[in-house]
Amino acid sequence: MDKNIFKDISYGMYLVTTKEAKNVGCIINTLTQITSDNPCISISLNKNNYTNEIIKKTNKFAVSIISQNTDTNIISTFGFKSSKDIDKFENIEYKEIENLPIIEKNMCGYLICKVINIISLDTHDLIIAKVETTKKSNDLIPMTYEFYQTNLKGKSPKKAPTYIESDIDEDEWVCDTCGYVYKGKIPNDFVCPLCGMSREHFKKSKKG
């Protein structure tokens, strides 16, 4: 099976947030609108994802639609770290709406959703939810997954449903935290633009 075919499927970039004892959230790229009347959506989350665990307890979550103007610090914090280990909202501007933490700055808008069904798959849960509230914030351009990979040189975390192991050119260095690829001779003081890790976290291609 050539899994590279899945790269030709269109994806967006979304920030899913929820709250129990504390605010939690993560980045996803698999969200689909299912119905228009009484709108419903579906999202996919890894079964080991802490945000997934909290959503199952609270049955409610919000989705902020990431734009091309979104600070990459949002992507690195919510995409490559766990809410179980840190407070992802500590240095992030957010609002509490309907008892959910929602990030609006440089986002295209948000949806507040109530879980109506969860389908258990192999490694992921497909969460189907009714959209209860929406707000379109501005006219920013939504960030597609292709834009994230092409312009920001971002890679999928291993828990993402779109994660595929790939070969790296011999003159490339890969961040062991977020998968960002640096081409050429890497400077000693280089810091990953996606996750903020130092040069020590960059490993040269096994081919090199």
Q: What is the mean pLDDT of the chain?
A: 84
Span(s) in the chain for CATH 2.20.28.10: 166-208
Span(s) in the chain for CATH 2.30.110.10: 3-146
Assess if CATH 3.90.1150.10 describes domain 3-146: no
| pLDDT attached to residue 188 | 84
Least confident stretch, 30-34, 75-79, 90-94: 75-79
C-beta separation of 91 from 51 below 8 A:
no
Query: What is the DSSP secondary structure assignment for residue 6, as one 8-state letter?
Result: G
pTM metric for this prediction: 0.75
Q: What are phi and psi of 136, to 5 degrees?
A: -95, 115
Q: Where are the alpha helices (DSSP H) in the chain?
A: 50-58, 72-80, 145-150
pLDDT, tens only, 93-129:
999 999 999 999 999 999 999 999 999 999 999 999 9
Strands 172-175 and 181-183: antiparallel
- 16-25 CB burial, b ≥16 within 10 A, e <16: bbbbeeebbb
Q: What is the mean pLDDT of residues 14-32?
A: 93
Neighbouring CB atoms inside 10 A of 38's CB total 7
Which class does domain 166-208 fall in?
mainly beta
Res 88 pLDDT > 80:
yes
Angle at 58 between CA 29 and CA 25, to 5 degrees: 35
pLDDT, tens only, 145-164:
777 777 665 555 555 555 45
